């Protein structure tokens, strides 16, 4: 779907209030697994590590820290809204680690100081808004839930810790959690059908996690701002790698690192590009083949080792400690090594250690989350043109920047070209702007399939008169390919500067656009 931008390939690459809700307005066979670890403890440890030497990681934790002094957290309790984003596969879901502690079970039914995005209102393709409501452990993961949704993972463990701190008297604003995770899902096309994190997967399918997440983050942050809040992202967790270790398409560390950046880059862009830690998880498993696991390890450690300023941090379960400071990792325990319950899925203690690293990042490292800068629609009422007009005097290009986002023809009268090859629509922002994202609103009554397989194009200069092939060959023009049909609303992360924004079909059809919004930071 998206040709990722705003992130440069790695060097050497050959080629990503209390208690109430508020609402914003209007897509293989594995290498031999280790089933018999009795052959050699050394071999088992090498498989577990993925390499002989430990790669750069977040420093080992001390025992769980006490609640912070309120003076440590410079949050405005009225306006600030800390946001935690948790994404990934089964270990981000907490697969096989049900919440059974009686106090935690009771707390998980509803939080007073943590908000989430429930599945009923927010797991919607092309949603135009987001609904924040009291967080519950079950029903707040927009991917796929296991254990009835009540599992220990970094989202629920952090939520429980935050709630108890506020209850104990720590002056903290409400935490807001965005959680999208689904077990065994890859970021590469070749992992199909288990490729729900692949960015080019059908954006109209609610199980396509990448477009769902981009749109959800954009809507969630906007909802907070429209409620008078100031979003501050305290961390983004990306716990996904297992599918890449299984995929035959994984042929090098360089290739898989580009795939990771193709997902992470746009996700960082749509948050506003503010500085916050992005937590990656070092591959650890006794059930994955060592060769491809090594590719993943090299890719992720390479990201974490980039020079400052570098948002990427690598968490390593082999460094986890218990609440009393006892190391959890034990090489003398075959297959589970003290950190797994089944050779690949982490225990509750490890998940709570992950949450402890997030907690310490905020309250020990004092990375409270820079406020996410608000945006404004720079395209509103700006001059717009199109390659042709199907019905002159009615279906004009300016209709797509009049502020009406309705997808019903007779409510909005969209812009509308004639049936032609590579029809285009373009808006002039008036000056070069830093474009965070473009939001496209599609028709909802009929003929929505016409907005299929197209480019969102950003340029410093007017593209009028230039052909498709010429634009495609121009490296100075930013092009983001959307594969498949656009849902009701599609958020396209851009993260580039430009004055002209164009939408152009790759094939032959009418191009019809009810509304196009170009979001740029205020000021």
d(CA 6, CA 373): 17
Task: Please report the pLDDT score of residue 417 as a whole number.
Answer: 98
Instruction: Kindly report, residue by residue over 322-362, the tens digit of the pLDDT.
Output: 999 999 999 999 899 999 999 999 999 999 999 999 999 99
Mean pLDDT value of segment 238-249:
90
pLDDT confidence tier of residue 426, bands split at 50, 70 and 90: very high
Residue 203 burial class via C-beta count within 10 angstroms: exposed 0-12, middle 13-18, buried 19 and up: buried
Record the pTM: 0.87
Distance CA 348, CA 172 (A): 25
Letter string b/e over residues 225-261, b meaning 16 or more CB atoms within 10 A of that residue's CB: bebebbbbbbbbbbbbbbbbbbbebbeebbbbbbbbb
pLDDT over 80 (residue 15): no
Q: What digits encode the pLDDT tens for the residues 154-211?
A: 999 999 999 999 999 999 999 999 999 999 999 999 888 899 999 999 999 999 999 9
- Residue range 362-371: average pLDDT? 91
474: CB partners within 8 A, 6+ apart: none
pLDDT mean across residues, the chain: 87
State residue 34's pLDDT score.
Answer: 31
| Furthest C-alpha separation in the chain | 78
pLDDT at 155: 98
Quick: pLDDT tens for 252-306.
999 999 999 999 999 999 998 778 999 999 999 988 878 889 999 999 999 999 9
Report how far residue 63's alpha carbon sits from residue 157's, in angstroms, rounded to the nearest whole number. 15
Q: Write out pLDDT tens, residues 385-406.
A: 999 999 999 999 999 999 999 9
Question: Above 80 in pLDDT, residue 12?
Answer: no
Look at residue 69 in the predicted model and tell me its pLDDT: 52
Q: Inform me whether the pLDDT recorded for 315 exceeds 90.
A: yes
Strand segments (E) across 4-146: 22-23, 80-88, 114-117, 131-134
Examine the pLDDT at 28 and tell me if it is beyond 50.
Answer: no
What pLDDT shows up at residue 73? 66
The secondary structure element, H or E, covering residue 441 is: strand 424-441
């Amino acid at each position: 779907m998206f040709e990722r931008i705003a992130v440069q390939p790695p060097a050497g690459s050959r080629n990503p209030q209390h208690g109430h809700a508020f609402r914003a307005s209007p897509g293989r066979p594995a290498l031999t697994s280790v089933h018999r670890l009795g052959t050699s403890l050394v071999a088992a440890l090498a498989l577990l590590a993925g390499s002989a030497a430990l790669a750069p990681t977040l420093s080992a934790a001390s025992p769980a820290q006490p609640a912070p002094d309120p003076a440590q957290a410079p949050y405005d309790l009225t306006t600030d809204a800390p946001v935690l984003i948790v994404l990934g596969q089964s270990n981000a879901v907490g697969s096989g680690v049900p919440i059974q502690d009686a106090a935690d079970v009771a707390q998980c039914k509803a939080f007073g100081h943590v908000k989430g995005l429930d599945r009923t209102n927010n797991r919607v393709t092309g949603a135009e808004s987001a609904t924040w409501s009291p967080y519950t452990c079950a029903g707040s993961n927009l991917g796929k839930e296991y254990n009835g949704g009540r599992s220990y993972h970094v989202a629920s463990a952090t939520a429980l810790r935050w709630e108890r701190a506020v209850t104990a008297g720590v002056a903290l604003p409400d935490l807001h959690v965005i959680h999208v995770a689904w077990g065994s899902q890859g970021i590469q096309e070749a992992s199909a059908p288990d490729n729900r994190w692949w960015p080019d997967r059908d954006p109209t399918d609610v199980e396509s996690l990448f477009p769902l997440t981009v749109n959800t983050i954009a809507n969630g942050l906007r909802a907070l701002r429209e409620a008078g809040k100031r979003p501050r992202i305290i961390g983004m967790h990306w716990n996904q790698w297992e599918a890449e270790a299984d995929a035959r398409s994984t042929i090098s560390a360089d290739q898989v690192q580009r795939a990771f950046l193709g997902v992470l880059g746009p996700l960082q862009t749509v948050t506003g590009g503010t500085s916050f830690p992005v937590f990656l998880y070092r591959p650890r498993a006794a059930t994955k083949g060592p060769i491809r696991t090594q590719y993943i390890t090299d890719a992720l450690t390479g990201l974490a080792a980039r020079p400052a300023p570098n948002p990427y941090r690598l968490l390593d379960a082999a460094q986890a400690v218990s609440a009393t400071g006892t190391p959890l990792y034990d090489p003398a325990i075959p297959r589970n090594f003290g950190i797994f319950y089944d050779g690949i899925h982490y225990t509750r203690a490890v998940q709570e250690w992950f949450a402890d690293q997030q907690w310490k990042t905020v309250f020990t490292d004092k990375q409270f989350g820079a406020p996410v800068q608000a945006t404004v629609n720079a395209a509103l009422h700006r001059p717009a043109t199109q390659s042709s007009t199907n019905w002159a005097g009615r279906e004009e290009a300016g209709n797509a920047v009049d502020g009406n986002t309705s997808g019903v023809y007779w409510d909005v009268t969209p812009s509308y070209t004639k049936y032609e090859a590579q029809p285009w629509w373009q808006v002039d922002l008036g000056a070069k702007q830093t474009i965070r994202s473009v939001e496209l609103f599609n028709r909802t009554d009929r003929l929505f399939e016409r907005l299929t397989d197209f480019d969102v194009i950003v340029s410093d200069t007017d593209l009028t008169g230039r052909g498709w092939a010429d634009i495609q060959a121009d490296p100075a023009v930013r092009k983001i390919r959307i594969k498949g049909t656009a849902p009701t609303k599609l958020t396209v992360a851009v993260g580039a500067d430009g004055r002209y924004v164009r939408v152009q079909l790759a094939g032959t059809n009418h191009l019809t656009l009810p509304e196009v919004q170009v979001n740029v930071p205020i000021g």
